[in-house]
Chain A
Amino acid sequence: MTLAAAIRSGDVTLLPSRRDEDWRWTDLRGLLRTLPTPSPETDAAVAPGPFGALGDSEILVVNGRLRDDAASTLTVRSGEKRTVRLRFVSASPQSRHEARLTINVHMGADLTLLESHEGMAEGYVAASGLDIRVDDGARVERLVIAADDADAVNVSQAEVVLAAGARFSQTVLTDGAKRQRLETRLTHPGDKADVHLDGVYLIGGRGHADLTTSVHHQGPGGTTEQLTKGVVRDQARAVFQGRIVVARGADQTEARMGHHALILSDRAEVDAKPELEIYADDVSCAHGNTVGALDEDALFYAQQRGVPYDEARAMLAEAFVSQVVERIEHEGARAICAAWAAARVKI
């Protein structure tokens, strides 16, 4: 039951629905009575994406097809340090497509992956899958900007498998779509591997964004640190599902999960499901989840200094999510993500 399978076959009964516990807040079956036609192949020029010319190379996927004869596997070899843009562009309206890529980061290698989902047409239905394997002592920072069309459906699913001593840091930023899910499933060996999974959502209108993560600690001595913050306004809806499983024997696991949301309108909604499943004895795990409004006293204080109400709200909302953006390690990308977020808290 995946969107990718439904897109491949055209069979809507393969769509995940609210009957699937894991999809009950992001129902696709109820939304899509029919699927649009398959996206055409296009060789139209594509303007630069949100990461511009940052990095040493680009993998461009347009309507689910790799451009420029690019391989569907990216390999970063031992000793290499790469910064690669990976762009999923949806260029044709009312059409469907999906793509799947593999990324292998060899022992001791270093990859900064600048991933973007770019909607350049209305009403598309897209799915993308990434299989990411990070070998011993390798480091990956994956940054995702999901800039889908407001009328689009998009599901991104990444499967990440780490080896001992690997380091995987991820920050996902989104402003939602008609229905959108950005999902990361991670197999954690413990063994000094270190995971950061962060997220920012800034959604307005009737937008929907779902940030779902699942981390399985399978061996002792691993760390996972998670912080997601978001702002919803108008009739927007955000979903946060964070699951951390610590298997029997995965002792000395350290896991922390935080999700904090601001709701700026009484018709906006946030659904949060933090889950810690712990089967080991000697672990340190914690989670915190808050949903609230902007502090009216702080807003008045800013107004009293001359900042108009809407500007004060945007300033405080931007400050709220900046704590996540500041954790991005790649300096140039951090600046781009900060500007992207700042532009999307304006009301």
Chain B
Amino acid sequence: MEKKITIEPVTRVEGHGKVTIYIDDEGNISQSRLHIVEFRGFERFVQGRPYWEAPVLVQRLCGICPVSHHLAAAKALDVIVGAGTGDGLTPTGEKMRRLMHYGQMFQSHALHFFHLVSPDLLFGVDGDPIVRNIIGVAKKYPELAVQGVMMRKFGQEIIRATAGKKIHGTGAIPGGINKHLTQEEKESFLKGADPLNADKMISWSVDALQFLKDYHKDNKDFIDNFAAFPSSHLSLVRKDGALDLYHGVLRAVDADGKKILNDVDYQDYLNYINEEVRDWSYMKFPFLTEYGKKDGWYRVGPLARLNTCEFIPTPLAQKEFEIYKAYTNGKPNHSSMHMHWARLIELLHSAEVIKDLLNDPDLMSGELTVKGEKRNEGVGLIEAPRGTLFHHYRINEHDQISMANLIVSTTNNNQPMNEAVNHAAKQFMTGQKVITEGMMNAVEVAIRAYDPCLSCATHALGQMPLEIVLKDSSDKELDRKRR
């Protein structure tokens, strides 16, 4: 008789989800599902609101990377106010937004690595959950914990200086930005007391990368093979093929690295991307229309970005990118756990970009906004920390939003996360009669690699109310364990 295991809630991810794993009579995994049980409804309730409200309203989707939503919405509205499709802003407008975005990328990646992932690496996947958390890290590795906290603080301060607030600011407005960077802010980020300055952030990013590379050396099999599976990858890239997290054209490559979406204008994304609804999750399943529901799914996020781009336009990150690419002989990387490696290369890249931008005089003076001929529709895409984020709005003749379509990064990674859960379950649970803490966490580790943001900013620390329910195929409960 088939058995069903439920892991609920999935912990140390942003938001709430649950996992169901079905085991047949022989102890083989027959099916695994990651259910997203939240429903937010932003696409509906922004309708009727004035369009300029969208960047401030919609960012409330999240408390971890609201800047992504803030900027993606602002980019869509740039199109509506006639400020071009991503390249029409004033130098000040574009660079201030870039600084805001890279500040966010830096803080979000630091948060994910130090707060959410490092406990698994430092204490092991099957480590005691009482200590396998950020509090445990702070007690045993205080220097590392402090680094994580201070790196996040630096990124948050960049956001405050550009958006007005660390969380849910108002900086990006249709057609540009509402403020300059002050001399005082610039000085504090470039020459701030140790450790809160750009040079230290670059140096700590290099250290974090080294920490992961050392861990990789000692745990090759786990890092290379855990929840590894081939897939296509999608992201924005700069027109010349460089990694660009703020703006670019849409590119997808297949598992062998062949371009299957060739640098298209994202204003036309509906011609290339579709979404499937499945009755067991509130989260849709996007796919490349040309390749269909079964084969058209793709991954987004750091792993995908380093698979689609050709180079990184900052020196230290480029050097690390070359080492990273050489590991897979230049072919696309399909290891879920290499997502952490890719994320830390982006962390370093973000720190370098922040330093370069801070030295740019355009941040301190110049026109803030630009407007042109108004349109009634606009699409804004951005590479959020977790992957490609789509915002699409239409407005009526009275300036009210009449349609909104959001495809958030985690939605793009829906099928990949389900694949990762299935691979982890097969690796750790096949033929097992007793479900251990390590097995449960292995499933979470696979999901956590994608840094999913399940639509809210729930952080759970310490002891988790993790529960496993064993059920037969008729949903009758056979056993229940709770920690």
Q: Do A and B bind each other?
A: no
Chain B residues close to A by CB (< 8 Å):
none
